[in-house]
Amino acid sequence: MTADTRNSALDAATGLPPARTPWEETWRLLRKNRLAFSGLLIFVIFFLVAVAGILLTAGSRPVLDPAQVRLQEKLLPPLSLPNHEVLPPEALPPLGRYLLGTDDLGRDVFARMLQGAWVSLTVGFVAVGIAVIIGIILGGLAGYYGDQELEVGHLLVWTTGVIAAFLLLTNRPAGAAAAAAASAVIWIVMRRERSLYEGPPSRRRWFTRGLVSVDTLIMRAVDVMLCFPSFFLILTVVALLPASLYNIMVVIGLTSWMGTTRFVRAEFLSLREQDFVAAARALGIGDMRIIFRHIMPNAMAPVLVSATLGIATAILTEAGLSFLGFGVPPPHATWGNILSDGKQFIFDAPWLTFAPGIVILIVVLAFNLFGEGLRDIMNPKLRERN
């Protein structure tokens, strides 16, 4: 007899409802929340459409070419048939008609919307992934180490390491290598002076003396970042960097980690005093293993909610940048630059504005509804009510 069978038999004997696994309980509550479940369904559809966009619009000879110019067919309304007399066979739309019409250059709006779907999906997930990784690391360190002082040398190592990572992400390998080398030199010097750590403060070198607590340093950095309006900060950085999809993702990610950091820190401050953490310390387990193996899995609930809501924000940010001309450069089509191209034809060709605008509204609303539903499901007090 398996464990599940024994549990079912025990529940039947005691008259209790069958025990559910955490995933089964989460799925039950998600289905019960109709708005959140609708958001999940729209997200799945959006994901499938974005994958289809990659498969149909990528390559040297795509099935649907979003860059195909047909000046004879410009500004056609949705569901229009192509003119076979003026178009060569290779320029005809594969679907037999223009489902969402054409723009001022005769390009198929449906093909451009498909390409914009995978651009938005990529920007949303990669940017949020970068922000979540940074937030988990910084929030975990701030919450676990608390008031433990950070030496000047450690501060220099962290600073040069962050600079090296930023330069590497922005495609500056020479500067990244120099910053990484400086960080390594500082770390080696600190290792050689390890014996001074145990001595009296008066004997310590300047780079081994306590300067500020880990928590204070990280949270003050969060406060500084929150002082700047996010979109204008992103706009300024993007204007200084070469226009590319890669830079857009990195910049959005590097300016969106503050919320995750605060969530993770709050969870760590609560979990680090629990009995299982004390037991792990008593067994001699290292701090990094305690942080990432024992505490982090229990602190992921608010991170998932923050990430879900962050994807919607990243999609909106990318669309806003592309609308202003600072986003993903041509020939890539994004929902933002489709919307920008259509604003001058809003009365003559309103489909150029309505198509991307309505899609952005639906997708962002779906992510927000799904995120709100996850927050309710993962709240223990609200779970008890259901």
* Among the listed residues 9, 21, 107, 8, the one whose alpha carbon sits nearest the alpha carbon of residue 57: 107
* Average pLDDT taken over every residue of the chain: 79
Q: What is the mean pLDDT of residues 264-273?
A: 85
Between 306 and 148, residue with greater pLDDT:
306
Residues 6+ apart with CB under 8 A from 72: 83, 86, 87, 106
Ranked by mean pLDDT, the top range of 171-175, 179-183, 322-326 is: 322-326
Residue 107 has pLDDT above 60, yes or no: yes
- How do beta strands 149-151 and 210-213 pair? antiparallel
C-alpha 45: how far from chain center: 19
Two tokens at 60? 């040297």
Average pLDDT over every residue of 153-164: 73
Instruction: Output the DSSP codes for 310-323.
Output: HHHHHHHHHHHHHH
Residue 110: which of 49, 61, 60 has the closest Cα? 49
CA distance 149 to 216: 9
The string of DSSP letters for 16-50 reads PPPP--HHHHHHHHHHHSHHHHHHHHHHHHHHHHH
The predicted pLDDT at position 205 comes to: 53
What average pLDDT does range 117-130 have in this prediction?
88
Q: CA angle, corner 137, sides to 314 and 375, nearest 5?
A: 55
d(CA 130, CA 226): 17
Q: What is the CATH number of domain 43-67+107-147+215-385?
A: 1.10.3720.10
CA dist 365 and 77 (Å) reads 27
Report percent pLDDT > 70 for the chain. 82
Flag whether pLDDT at 207 surpasses 60.
Answer: no
User: At 124, is the secondary structure helix, strand, or coil?
Assistant: helix
Q: Which residues contact 152 (CB under 8 A, 6 or more apart)?
A: 206, 207, 208, 209, 211
Where is average pLDDT lowest: 83-97, 165-179, 211-225?
165-179
Rounded to whole angstroms, the Cα distance separating 204 from 115 reads 59
In the predicted structure, residue 209 carries a pLDDT above the cut 70: no
